[in-house]
Chains A and B, each alone.
Chain A
């Protein structure tokens, strides 16, 4: 009986207006107007949680539109667990499908970047990372077959819009968007390391393909071939040294 009552209570929390007075009275009695305290807490606190995770998305949409879009999302997809810092992974997809945002695709892309930053932060930093000097310890013929295992905080974003430029412009008190073409495609690497915390940086599409191949467990040769298929002039050595220098790999596996 308690289970049934709690399920009913939850369905009334998720209900959209207009609310059924009869249903609420059956649930909580004559003072059913007070149910709004719980409904407002549920929606309001989760809108706040999403606003904390997606601050630039909120600026792009404006407070009212963001709150309305977030409330719709919350009613459809309440969190599955108590850790709200991990809530909102599906919000960028929801924005992408939002009928009013078809002409503003970059909003959903910025939301995806903000979510990648959150995931990267909570993935944390490994105790040790592979340094460029490590390469010196391997015989030349072994190098193509090494498997560089990315750290848990590494994320790669491939967007058809200028997602990083737009996000960076909003790190200023008064965002300057002049000169940013929102439809310029960008690929971005997000990483959490000891020097910078969570940092996002633009990389070339071939470089992104290289990292994505390594994330899928490819060895160095296979990852290089995938990247070279995107751009024939992909500079493997420069890309590898850059990633090793910022600590993108937790360990290297020798075949």
Chain B
């Protein structure tokens, strides 16, 4: 009996001390983690909108959308978070679109697990710069192995068609989702 009491009390004490330690660590770390996440989004938004000075956030149909304003407080476009399935996992991205929702302003890949060197190239400037001033009407399209001929086309990465196509599909779907709701 004494043995059982000793076992239970040791476990309980260790459990309680560990629990207390974790609560402390959590209260220290959580605000920092939230700040990190906000910073990451802020950096992405301002990389897409170099003239942007401030933004306000809202959620439309489960999509996080940000209205970006420049230094003169003029509304210069929307930034939104989009995500979907790529080749190896979920791709998370931040995209910018003009106020009339016709032209894509830019693209930043936030998180992807695509194959490094192949699908992973979607995160490089070489790929994402194609999305600056890209027409989104009727929708974004991609071509393979040729230079894009129309203003709404981008060129897929050689050897990474699936990843490139995933980015295009995710963008189109998200734009469609928010288009009606924001005007």
**Does A pair with B?**
no
